[in-house]
């Protein structure tokens, strides 16, 4: 099984149960990627007024720390967090339509061997 398939399976197994709870339903997109320490990725995501969203960020056991930076179209910071652990759940209900840039960064752990692992962002919606 290739790395891409492994990351997709990881997101389905670990992320979907977190998204599909408390009345939220996955939007069907699995945003998965294999990342190494020092890498950063930016994704764009619209959020619409009147809907409640659950955004889940998960990482496999190889990735110990993830930085998350969320900005709106005016580059205002909405979320700026560094976390250690396996998952972050962010529930948000925008008061206006938003076009978000969601950045994820895997910081260097300072070890001789660079770590690499699967990260994923999943989104659920509740009316």
How do 77-84 and 87-92 pair as beta strands? unpaired
pLDDT digits (tens, 9 = 90+) for 72-119: 999 999 999 998 877 899 999 999 999 999 999 998 877 778 889 999
Beta-bridged to residue 34, according to DSSP, are: 118
User: 19 to each of 24, 28, 88, 108, 120, how far by Cα in Å?
Assistant: 6, 10, 11, 28, 12
Fold of 3-126: Jelly Rolls (2.60.120)
Structure tokens at 30: 């699995």
CA 60: distance to chain centroid?
Answer: 12
* Amino acid 84: pLDDT: 86
Q: Where are the domains of the chain?
A: 3-126
pLDDT digits (tens, 9 = 90+) for 12-53: 999 999 999 999 999 999 999 999 999 999 999 999 999 999
* Amino acid 110: pLDDT: 76
* Amino acid 1: pLDDT: 44
Asked if 72 and 97 touch (Cβ cutoff 8 Å), the reply is no
* Amino acid 4: pLDDT: 56
């Amino acid at each position: 099984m290739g790395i891409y398939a492994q990351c997709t399976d990881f997101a389905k197994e670990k992320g979907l149960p977190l998204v599909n709870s408390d009345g939220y339903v996955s939007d069907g997109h699995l945003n998965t990627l294999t990342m190494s320490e020092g890498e950063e990725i930016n994704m764009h995501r619209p959020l619409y007024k009147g809907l409640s969203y659950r955004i889940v960020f998960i990482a496999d056991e190889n990735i110990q720390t993830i930085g998350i930076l969320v900005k709106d179209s005016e580059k205002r910071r909405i979320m700026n967090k560094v976390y250690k652990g396996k998952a972050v759940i962010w529930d948000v209900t925008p008061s206006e339509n938003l076009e978000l840039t969601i950045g994820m960064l895997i910081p260097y752990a300072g070890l001789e061997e660079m770590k690499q692992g699967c990260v994923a962002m999943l989104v659920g919606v509740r009316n």
